[in-house]
Structure 1
Amino acid sequence: MKPRVAIIGAGWAGLAAAITLAPAANVVLFEAGKAAGGRARRVGLGGMALDNGQHILIGAYRECLRLMRGVGVDPARVLASQPLCWHQIDGVQMQCPALPAPLHLLFGLLGAKGLCWRDKLALARVLTQLRVRRWQIGHDVAALSWLLQQGQSAALLSGFWTPLILATLNTPPAQASMQLLANVLRDSLGAAQADASRLLLPKVDLSALFVDPALQWLAANGVDVCLGQRVTAVDWQASPPQVDGAAFDAVLVATAPYHAASIVNDEKLSGLLKAWQYQPITTLYLHFEGRVALPQTMTGVQHGVGQWWFDREALSGEAGLVSVVISAEGRHSALTRAQLTERVVAEMRQQLPDLPPLRQSWLITEQRATFAANVGLSRPAIRLNVKSGYLAGDWLCADYPATLEGAARSGIAAARALMQDWKQEHDANV
């Protein structure tokens, strides 16, 4: 007999868990919002289908890509794939060829602009050292502290390391975990597969990328998807546990950590999560009256508030649209929407004198977009301290910061743990 499983939360972790469980369980997927996808989904603004934040994937996101294929999405059709390109319009510029590691990085560094030879050698030395140490730094420390100890110059810190840390860990370098950064480098720049570090930029909105096809696949495979239905109570002491009065053989909580703490009602988990900090991500959408010719589809800014500019017209055909992503808290946090828009447009106009007039703008700020990837951050276990209770979410993937791949991996791991426990209990009762 198949177990009846409740999954609370239909973000990427909850969807990954539901897809994994669907062949072997009767799944009911609850989502409090009217739309699935969590912090990576479509939103409607000004009659346009935008995203609640700009996301990118890389070739190393194996589980995300496998799940997409499993629900009928061809990654080659919906993702623009390109070799690793680091292009700051006013700073460091590096293009890595499609070669296995570490050759791609070596050739990329040889041709890099904006770095002197001493800095190129220092960067190569640090990355080689990490590779030799199998991407383990020993006792975890703040990334900024570790990099300074390794002799990384001010030019490298401002032009390469700080933008990289903010983009990958969404945490200021002075508090970000160096070990988590090393893990990201291991699976991208340091991976043996030539495609691991390739940038995969969505050519469709995030719901079309995975969320909508996943929901269609789940419905076709017998999963009961309940959107706009907030779970108000879970009775963990009942046997079996109950969700809003309905009995389930197992309950998997796939929400953000601050929501999970209240649903689970576990003192140990609550105590752990109280110590966590969170960081925002701001996405500013700028709709211009004509084509904006960015030098690269994803263009960085070293000396400015707007950290990364994305050419949405080149990616998804939205005429005149540019999305500007600003990771973590910083000097922009105190600006109003009007002030931030004026500042970013002025920065763009300084680099792009032919910038067309601005037609309109929209600002989306997720105040708790990710957990802060701080030094030595303790992660909860997937299995709860109650029978038949499980957790999923990017915050549980101990190897990664908050990423789509971390969410997918955690959902798959939680589903597999649930089925393993169910099988062992079933076998013991036979």
Structure 2
Amino acid sequence: MAAEAAEVAPAPGRIAVVGAGWAGLAAAVEATGRGHAVTLIELAPQPGGRARSLPAEPGQAPLDNGQHILIGAYVATLALMRRVGIDPDAVLLRLPLTLVDADGRGLRLGRGPVLWAFTRAVWAMHHWRWRERLALSNAALAWLLKGFRCDPGWTVARLTQGLPERVRREFVDPLCVAALNTPAASASATVFLRVLHDALFAGPGASDLLVPRRPLADLLPEPAIAWLRRQGAIVHLGRRAHQLSPRADGRPGWALDGEPFDAIVLACSAREAARLTATIAPDWSQRAAAFSYEPIVTAYVQADGARLAAPMVALPESPSGDAAPAQFAFDHGALGASPGRFAYVVSGAAPWVARGLEETGEAVLAQARATLRGIAPGRIRLIRVVADKRATFLCLPGLERPPTRIANALVAAGDHVDGPYPATLEGAVRSGLAAVEALAAAP
């Protein structure tokens, strides 16, 4: 059946939100706040989607499915946290943008106007040659003068090809893989520049790193579920949405597994949304199903008494690519969380996932023993290796993402939906808010 067969719906009253990731939670909270009767349906037994806490193992502190970070420019995410009763300052450690190695060398952004702070930070990197510092300063100024825009077909590697190799290796490559989870050789330069723009020019504190002190469940998923239930929303966890169809009574809206709703927000994964819309909106469905994905692996390590040079450090890649898989390490003790626990993050992890989690864990453990100095190797042990095989979509130049609107009274939310951001928490939250706004704006 064509999408156009559904009639134009009046202002929705009963809304189903499919998916309780950060996009679905944002949509459910926003719709509830506007006075609608919301039913939230989530396939997994816990909310959070791809940014969630894992069930705690006996005798172990809870772990997350990966090490996530925010930045100060994530204003929609921070506002949503406050809306459901969470103080971001209590659950997030705010740090000036810092991109340093295990020896503490690298970029440390100070306070004050960000452009000048960035310039001062670059010229304070005394382990770089003056030509390398000048090249990055000139490149940043050129991006600013061009409005942080470039040819939409460019990759980050093409954008930065004129920079010295050391600048690309120590600054561009780790920043690109952290922000887009896509290697610079294939990542969209347009999206990369958008992230830089919002971090550097969205106002004071926009570039700050916000690193979780608490499990991800405490940041938004569980508080949002509790808030929704207090407001009278219906929440179904561990339930799959099987079929989407026109309402049997002929009224505007849709039926989800036979239950009628005035409007539906598909905030599930792109693949699940594609399945549900295959016969309703085939063009939209095909676009949603066409994504390629990139995994992220997080290896948790315990090393009592160890510390890193900063709460987050960048790690060098091995020249051959067959060792030292993690690009970043996080010191949970320095974050005020669990002393002696460290998270080693492998972004763009497809080659390591192919080699298996056991081999990846062994390689990360060797990497940890090399970076956690002053601790006997036998006191450094691997706790758990977690792989999210579809952590993010590959953020490629010219990528066509599906729009918010699918059909009348049917919209999509998720970081895969068309928007300016890569696959980030902020992109997910903004898409959830935009989906509800699109329903309200429909004629």
**TM-score scaled by length of structure 1:** 0.93
Between Structure 1 and Structure 2, how many residues are aligned? 417
The structural deviation recorded for 1:319 is 3.2
Deviation larger for 25-34 or 307-316: 307-316
Alignment correspondent of 1:428: none
> Secondary structure of 1:315's match?
coil
Q: How does 1:135-174 map to 2 (within 5 A)?
A: 135-148=148-161, 151-174=162-185
The structural deviation recorded for 1:88 is 1.4
For residue 308 of structure 2, the aligned residue among 269, 294, 299 is 294
1:185–1:213 distance in 2 versus 1, CA, 3 Å: same
Alignment correspondent of 1:243: 256
Partners of 1:316 and 1:264 in 2: CA distance: 44
Partners of 1:61 and 1:174 in 2: CA distance: 26
The one-letter code of the counterpart of 2:110 is P
Q: How does 1:319-398 map to 2 (within 5 A)?
A: 319-329=339-349, 331-356=351-376, 357-384=379-406, 386-398=407-419
1:312–1:4 distance in 2 versus 1, CA, 3 Å: same
1:36–1:203 distance in 2 versus 1, CA, 3 Å: same
Alignment correspondent of 1:267: 282
For residue 238 of structure 2, the aligned residue among 218, 221, 228 is 228
Q: Deviation string for 1:49-89 (max 9, x for gaps)?
A: 11011100000000000001111111111110011111112
The one-letter code of the counterpart of 1:390 is V
The structural deviation recorded for 1:92 is 5.3
The one-letter code of the counterpart of 1:345 is L
Partners of 1:316 and 1:365 in 2: CA distance: 25
Partners of 1:310 and 1:412 in 2: CA distance: 31
The structural deviation recorded for 1:334 is 4.2
CA RMSD of aligned residues (A): 1.7
Judge conservation of contact 2:365–2:382 (CA < 8 Å) in 1: no
Partners of 2:12 and 2:133 in 1: CA distance: 57
Would you say 1:402 and 2:423 are equivalent positions? yes
The one-letter code of the counterpart of 2:375 is L
Q: Deviation string for 1:3-30 (max 9, x for gaps)?
A: 1001000000000001111032111000
The one-letter code of the counterpart of 1:230 is R
Judge conservation of contact 2:274–2:289 (CA < 8 Å) in 1: no
For residue 89 of structure 2, the aligned residue among 46, 63, 76 is 76
> Secondary structure of 2:420's match?
coil
Structure 1 stretches of 5 or more lacking a match?
A: 425-430
Alignment correspondent of 2:321: none
The structural deviation recorded for 1:416 is 0.9
Would you say 1:60 and 2:73 are equivalent positions? yes
1:113–1:355 distance in 2 versus 1, CA, 3 Å: farther
The one-letter code of the counterpart of 2:298 is T
Structure 2 stretches of 5 or more lacking a match?
A: 1-10, 318-323
Partners of 1:262 and 1:407 in 2: CA distance: 20
Partners of 1:195 and 1:91 in 2: CA distance: 22
Partners of 2:210 and 2:152 in 1: CA distance: 33
The one-letter code of the counterpart of 1:157 is R
Q: How does 1:104-143 map to 2 (within 5 A)?
A: 104-143=117-156
> Secondary structure of 1:395's match?
coil
**TM-score scaled by length of structure 2:** 0.90
Judge conservation of contact 1:397–1:406 (CA < 8 Å) in 2: no
1:297–1:281 distance in 2 versus 1, CA, 3 Å: same
The one-letter code of the counterpart of 1:123 is L
What percent of counterpart residues are identical?
35
Alignment correspondent of 2:189: 178
